[in-house]
């Protein structure tokens, strides 16, 4: 079934006081050498964020992912990338001024098989400030908040309606953002669409994802 946005994890022991005689050092005992100074704490090395290049028929799009904010979502996306799942899929749902959605269907609109759905990490990503704003990449899903598999979308505009809305809406999990190729995203968002096979907003001509490549760390 197509995933639409609005429809697609020591016991504390008391200190023992020593008797005074034990605590004293006999005068005949040589003085102890001073303890060496401790080395300064090392500055933590910033973690490298993975980057994935989507090679589309409208040009390359590079997204930088946020594994610290959405670890399960990023792991899931990279799994599909490494397996070659996205190669040959299309952006099958395009709405100008809203988003472009793809990564799950072939040109004949057949949906590719996927792994099991993943946990929706939007409560923690939204709290950390990663929202459905222009240029972010997020997981598409069905009405069930825990139903995301492979399909994703890229926001063409700020879409706060896709973020959690109190207790009434779980929201959609953003897990990275476009760092280059937003012009390709904008071009895709403006292609002519049609109604086909019971679905709307389908590009008249296929917008292909030729491949998705995990780029080497910088």
The answer to whether 194 and 204 have CB atoms below 8 angstroms apart is yes
pLDDT at 163 over 50: yes
DSSP state at residue 162 = G
What the block records as the tokens of 170 is: 């779980």
- DSSP H or E segment with residue 215: none
Per-residue model confidence as pLDDT tens digits over 13-27: 233 333 333 333 333
What the block records as the tokens of 127 is: 């709290």
Per-residue model confidence as pLDDT tens digits over 115-125: 999 999 999 99
Mean pLDDT of 82-92: 98
- The total number of residues written for the chain in this structure: 218
pLDDT of residue 22: 30
Distances (CA, A) of 204 to 99, 127, 196: 17, 38, 9
Per-residue model confidence as pLDDT tens digits over 41-59: 555 556 799 999 999 999 9
In the chain, the domains with their CATH numbers are: 51-213 (2.40.100.10)
pLDDT at 36 over 90: no
Higher model confidence: residue 158 or residue 22?
A: 158
Closest CA to 66 of 74, 58, 54: 74
Closest CA to 1 of 195, 141, 205: 141
Between CA 102 and CA 75 the distance in angstroms is 18
pLDDT category of residue 160 using cuts at 50, 70 and 90: very high
- The tokens 């994703």 sit on which residue? 152
pLDDT category of residue 37 using cuts at 50, 70 and 90: low
pLDDT at 93 over 90: yes
Buried/exposed code over 83-110 (b: 16+ C-beta within 10 A; e: otherwise)? eebbeebbbbbbbbebbbbbbbbeeeee
pLDDT of residue 23: 31
- The tokens 């968002």 sit on which residue? 189
């Amino acid at each position: 079934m197509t995933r639409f946005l609005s429809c697609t994890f020591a016991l504390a022991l008391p200190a023992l006081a020593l008797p005074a005689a034990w605590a004293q050092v006999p005068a005949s005992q040589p003085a102890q050498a001073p303890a060496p100074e401790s080395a300064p704490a090392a500055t933590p090395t910033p973690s490298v964020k993975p980057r994935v290049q989507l090679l589309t028929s409208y040009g390359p799009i590079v997204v930088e992912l946020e594994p610290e904010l959405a670890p399960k979502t990023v792991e899931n996306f990279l799994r599909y990338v490494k397996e070659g799942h996205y190669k040959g899929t299309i952006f099958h749902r395009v709405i100008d001024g809203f988003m472009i959605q793809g990564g799950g269907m072939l040109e004949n609109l057949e949906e590719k098989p996927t792994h099991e759905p993943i946990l929706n990490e939007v409560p923690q990503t939204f709290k950390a400030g990663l929202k459905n704003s222009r240029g972010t990449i997020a997981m598409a899903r069905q009405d069930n908040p825990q139903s995301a598999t492979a399909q994703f979308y890229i926001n063409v505009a700020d879409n706060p309606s896709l973020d959690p809305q109190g207790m009434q809406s779980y929201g959609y999990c953003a897990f990275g953002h476009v760092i280059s190729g937003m012009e390709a995203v904008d071009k895709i968002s403006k292609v002519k669409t049609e109604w086909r096979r019971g679905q709307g907003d389908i590009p008249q001509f296929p917008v292909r994802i030729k491949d998705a490549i995990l780029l080497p760390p910088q």
